[in-house]
Structure 1
Amino acid sequence: MTESIRAKLSPAFSFETRKQVLESLSNESFELVIVGGGIIGAACARDASLRGIKTLLVEKDDFASGTSSGSSKLIHGGIRYLKNFEFSLVYTAIRERERLESLYAPFVRKMDFVFPTYEKVYPPRWMLNLGLGVYDSFTYFKERHRNLSRNKTMIDFPQLRSENLSGSMVYTDSFAEDYRLVIEVIKSAHKHGAQCINQVAASFFEEHTGGYTVGLHDSWDQKDYKVKTKFVLNCSGPFSDQVRALLQIKPSLHLTQGVHFIVLRDAVPLDKAFVLSDPDHDRILFAIPWNGITYLGTTDTNINDPAKARATKADLDYILTMFKKYFTYQISPDDVLQSWAAVRPLIQPLDSESNSKISREHLIEERPHRFFHVLGGKLTSHREIAEESIDKIARKMGIRKSCQTASLPLQDEPYRGGGDTHLERTFGLYSADVRTYDEERKLERKRITSTHPHLVSEVIYSCHHEMAMSPLDFLRRRSSLYYEKPGKDLVPAIADIMRRELNYSDLELDREINKALKSYEWDMEGFHS
């Protein structure tokens, strides 16, 4: 293993950290064990650690490996929820969005959205204008949407189909690379004392006086551990019912799958995000520019097993059909580079209703004693959900220290840069540490590939400060490269960098390369079959 340098800001958070945590478990007991390393589990670990609660977080795969890296990547109020009269949900989400834009800069950044309207297509222009007026009011009119006429819309957005076009609305929400949020929140939790490890699953729970013994299985080295804790918090997202099954609790979730497809930006050269209405299925879709690609989605179909989420040919046919209803671009299935699919953990409704009408609200319940579950929720509300969850647990513990995450910047200090460079947008204040690795290793800003700005030093930094354990971890959950061309062709080069940093054995190297390649195949095969 190449010895890592001492970075200026980022604490060590690597495979060595993981090894140390696992080796110490037999001598440790915790106040709180969190199961699940998505955005809500990460936020709960951060909140708890800032209150001085001794916390262990375990994730059975990699951090952000589930829903938290497969969303539409939006921090938004949820304009469509106004139709269901969920005003409280929208108001709270907008207020939280504004908070995250400040505290999570530069990872959460504003984005303009264009919502075209057409005659005899829901919603009519007048209704959308009224709804966005409500949206504006929830920002206390710091933001105001623009109501564009048919002619102005045709001038500004000539890529839209003009037949029956009545106009468009342009409004502001926010964008975030969801996986980067998870990684940064996890890093903050670790920095403030939480012990967070990936590739470790909770295998059983034994209740005893004063808490639980939690069984843990390390899938990397195939070893088993036990740890004692006073409280357990289940933040497993769409896998929450599987954790609850270990406690003989019946399922509580209604799972739906959302799919996105990726095309090259050259094929769909958008400079703003577009919102597309599908009244026949009571949903909206997005076309969003991101780096060198544009992604199209999403769907909302039922799924039973969250581990089997992936795009299908039917999904692709549907998305492309909807896209062609609105845009003049000529794209075909051959233009699709890749896809991603994620599962929404919705709370099972009492009555049968369409997926789009099922509330995105969350539920926090204690069942059994000292064992809490977070069910449902959205990316936008993750910090608030964590605050509510840790409030409940802290009261049970007799801890009076209040939540700090509503005012503390994600990287502890305010980000005052412009977020203008790739490194700043990806790492914020810690971009200085990536540059330090580049200088100390004399890499001279060497890129992983000439077609993208990602540096070799980013891989090195992710190994030592973001617990990246494999090429797939870096490609898919530390960077955007998984979704861009040349995609899987980068696997061997990244594996070679990580081999040197992590001291892979030949067996581990082959295993992790094959794992990454199989991930690409899985995501492609579904909609090409």
Structure 2
Amino acid sequence: MKWPSSRADLLSMLAENKQTWDIIVIGGGITGAGILLEAARRGLKVLLVEQKDFAWGTSSRSSKLVHGGLRYIKEGKFFLTRDSVRERQQLMQSAAGLVEPQSFAFADYQGRKPGRWLFAVGLIIYDFLAGLRGKHYFSAQDFQMLAPHIPAADLKGGSCYLDAKTDDARLVLRVLQEARGAGATALNYLAVTRLVYEDGQASAVVLQDALNEQSYQVKAKVIINATGAWADGLRQQQGASARLRPLRGSHLLFPSWRLPVAQAVSLMHPRDGRPVFVYPWEGVSLVGTTDVDHGADMQKEVAITPEEVAYLMEAMDFQFPQLQLKQEDVIASYAGIRPVIDTGKADPSKEGRDHAIWLEKGLLTVTGGKLTTFRLIAQDALKHISHLFPDHQPDPKVSKLFAQPADLSQEYQLNQTQKSRLQGHYGESAAEIVKIAQAGELNTIPGTLTMWVELRWAARSEAVEHLEDLLLRRTRLGLLLRQGGLALLPRIRAICQPELQWTDERWKNEQASYLQLWNRYYALPSSQRQPE
């Protein structure tokens, strides 16, 4: 299903205020998108608004992993791990091509923690909770076949286990697509500036269009704050105290030829024992992650710091010394803010990743949690308000998270990898994307797994309002190509400018803004730059 052809029509509907909404969801990340889908499938009239772009915040800047949380077993959080691994399995089945299995390899060196047997016990429990069984431990010789380029000295062997990976921004967009297909409405660049109260309870929101500054007041029976790491902002309008601890996680991306990994390789950082990983993602190698307190302005873009770059480079040098990686090898970097509930722990990485739900003066806040369990979080949120909608219960006939994707079996010009990608990323729209492809647009963009036609489709049908939307979230070319894809911008312009109906002046301005943004927040920082 396409995105609405006219944003103006939807805004006119809000201006006329003729639609009575059951729920307004504030926040266009994975949590808000999940709530939108679950509510729409219950037959509720639901509107989602996002002050910037869909998936602009945490949900396009995560580690891209759909995982059960192996480390939570050590913390005794078996129910969280169980729920996570089961959701992981369902996502791999219902969104194949978008959520894909990823094997992780963990080397066992003499004298390093955790030891073989402790790790093995954790993996047995991990697989049991997911309903899986498999071989985990390999000899040193076999393990080096799985994870070449690691040091051989003192290597006793290694363990492998299964998790999954995704394109986090595309997962959000796929969920929004499913929600729209179920009758929901979602608008980006529409900010909530104020909550309106009736008898002491939040009953409406004042919205402002970031593109033309027009304002709207919209009522709903329930208002849900799903703004993640930004959730305290709305809560504090009500006089509530802050309860979140924003943590920054930063990542580096390398060319796959420079940091070649077939398996994901995990290690404990030699400095502090925190887990670090590198794995193949979208045609490059992704390295992450840090976990530090983020005290800067939450409304500004977030970027990796020189200290975090050094930390991740130190981990790679420790695990792959023979590769002699340099900062000059890095294609791009990115950083995101995680919504973590503050319990006052001295070490940020020790804070829990459970989600929380608070009902305060009619505002239902949903925050925290993991990308993997977004569906369970949405269901939990709706349980808190189910008494308001007794006639709108989950449809027992809807068992799958996503609808059946379009059939591409007759598209002989595509290989199986391309078919799976289009079906996973675009669901019911996959066949239409193939049909609009012009000459050469089913080819893959060098250095990535992205097809040229995906740019055309995004520009035509996916609510792109700025060039950064197209290159950082609808596609991930800004992360996958050097200088944010600068060398390909002429061809990207030829494909997308007519679809976007932008004037030459508009394109020029958008390109300048995008490149300035990329160089400030996605390139490596200079050693002199201080975090904001």
TM over 0.5: yes
Map 1:47-196 → 2, pairs under 5 A: 47-140=38-131, 142-196=132-186
Q: Kindly indicate whether residue 37 of structure 2 is the aligned counterpart of residue 46 of structure 1.
A: yes
Aligned pair count reads 512
The answer on whether the counterparts of 1:187 and 1:466 sit within 8 Å (CA) in structure 2 is no
Mapped to 1, the partners of 2:144 and 2:383 lie a distance apart of: 51
Secondary structure, aligned partner of 1:527: coil
Name 1:258's counterpart in structure 2.
249
Task: Quote the offset at 1:431 in angstroms.
Answer: 2.1
Query: 1:337 and 1:65, CA in 2 relative to 1: closer, same or farther beyond 3 A?
Result: same
Matched, 1:476 2:465: no
Q: Which residue of 2 aligns with 1:200?
A: 190
Cα deviation for residue 168 of structure 1 reads 0.7
Q: Given that residues 215 and 225 in structure 1 are in contact (C-alpha distance below 8 angstroms), is that contact kept between their aligned partners in structure 2?
A: yes
Equivalent residue for 1:312?
A: 305
Q: Of 385, 389, 413, which residue of structure 2 is paired with 1:393? A: 385
Q: Which amino acid aligns with 1:159?
A: H
1:395 Cα deviation from its structure 2 partner: 2.1
Contact 2:405 2:424 in 1 (8 A): no
Cα deviation digits, residues 244-288 of structure 1 (max 9, x gap):
222222211011100010111110111111111137534211101
Q: 1:525 to 1:484 in 2, by over 3 A?
A: closer
**Can you list the C-alpha shifts for 1:162-205, whole angstroms capped at 9, x where unaligned?**
22222210111111111110000011111111110001111001
SS where residue 110 of structure 1 aligns? strand
Superposed displacement of residue 444, structure 1: 4.9
SS at match of 1:410: coil
Secondary structure of the structure 2 residue equivalent to 1:342: strand
In structure 2, the residue matched to 1:17 is 6
Offset at residue 460 of structure 1 (A) = 2.6
Distance 2:294 2:227 in 1: 16
| 1:214-233 C-alpha deviation (Å, 9 max, x unpaired) | 11111112222211111100
Which whole-Å CA distance do the structure 2 matches of 1:197 and 1:419 have between them? 34
Distance 1:195 1:419, change over 3 A: farther
Q: How does 1:334-483 map to 2 (within 5 A)?
A: 334-349=328-343, 351-369=344-362, 371-402=363-394, 407-412=399-404, 420-421=417-418, 422-438=421-437, 442-445=438-441, 454-483=450-479
Q: Residues 419 and 364 (structure 1 numbering): CA distance in 2 closer, same or farther, change over 3 Å?
A: farther
- Tell me, in whole angstroms, the C-alpha distance in 1 between the residues paired with 2:100 and 2:209: 36
Distance 1:61 1:497 in 2: 24
Separation in 2, partners of 1:379, 1:146:
25
Residues in 2 aligned to 1:160 and 1:456: alpha-carbon distance in whole angstroms: 36
State the alpha-carbon separation in 1 of the partners of residues 59 and 271 from structure 2: 28
Q: Structure 1's 211 and 257: CA in aligned 2 closer, same or farther, altered over 3 A?
A: closer
Does the 8 Å CA contact 1:311/1:339 hold for their aligned counterparts?
yes
Contact between 1:253 and 1:345, CA under 8 Å: does it hold in 2? yes
1:330 to 310, 324, 328: 324
- Choose the corresponding residue for 1:494, options 486, 492, 495: 492
Asked if 2 retains the 8 angstrom alpha-carbon contact of 1:415 and 1:428, the reply is no
2:236 is matched by which residue type in structure 1? A
Q: Is the 8 A contact 1:488 1:517 kept in 2?
A: no
CA deviation profile, 1:429-474 (whole Å, cap 9, x unmatched): 4321111112xxx545365856656444322321333222232112
Segments of 5+ residues of structure 1 without an aligned counterpart are 1-9
Q: Contact 2:282–2:449 (CA<8 Å) still a contact in 1?
A: no
Measure how far apart 1:71 and its partner are.
1.0
In structure 2, distance between residues paired with 1:52 and 1:264: 46
Alpha carbons of 1:41 and 1:435: their partners in 2 closer, same or farther (altered >3 Å)?
same
Letter in 1 for 2:230: F
1:363-391 deviation digits (Å, cap 9, x = unpaired): 1111112x100121110010100011112
Q: CA RMSD in A?
A: 2.4
Partner of 1:528: 526
The equivalent position to 2:272 in structure 1, one of 269, 278, 281, is 281
Deviation for aligned residue 1:516: 1.4
Between 1:40-49 and 1:153-162, the stretch displaced more is 153-162
| Cα contact 1:470–1:495 (8 A) shared by 2 | no
TM-score, reference length from structure 1: 0.91
Q: Given that residues 479 and 522 in structure 2 are in contact (C-alpha distance below 8 angstroms), is that contact kept between their aligned partners in structure 1?
A: no
Letter in 1 for 2:361: P
Q: Does 1:231 align with 2:218?
A: no
> For the residues of structure 2 that align with 1:56 and 1:508, how far apart are their CA atoms?
30
Task: Assess if the C-alpha contact under 8 Å between 1:447 and 1:456 holds in 2.
Answer: yes
Aligned residue in 2 for 1:291: 282
* Cα 1:526/1:159, change in 2 over 3 Å: closer
SS in 1 for 2:91: helix
Kindly provide the amino acid, as one letter, of the partner of residue 478 in structure 2.
Y
For 1:411 and 1:432, locate their aligned partners in 2 and report how far apart those are by CA, in whole Å: 14
What is the deviation of 1:403? 5.9
Q: Would the alpha carbon gap of residues 104 and 157 (structure 1) be closer, same or farther in structure 2, given more than 3 Å must change?
A: closer
Aligned CA distance change for structure 1 residues 104 and 64 (closer, same or farther; 3 Å):
same
Question: What is the CA–CA distance in structure 2 between the aligned matches of 1:405 and 1:501, rounded to whole Å?
Answer: 38
Contact 2:339 2:368 in 1 (8 A): yes
Task: State the secondary structure of the residue aligned to 1:193.
Answer: coil
State the TM-score, normalized to the length of structure 2: 0.90
Label 1:386 to 1:405 Cα distance change in 2 as closer, same or farther (>3 A): farther
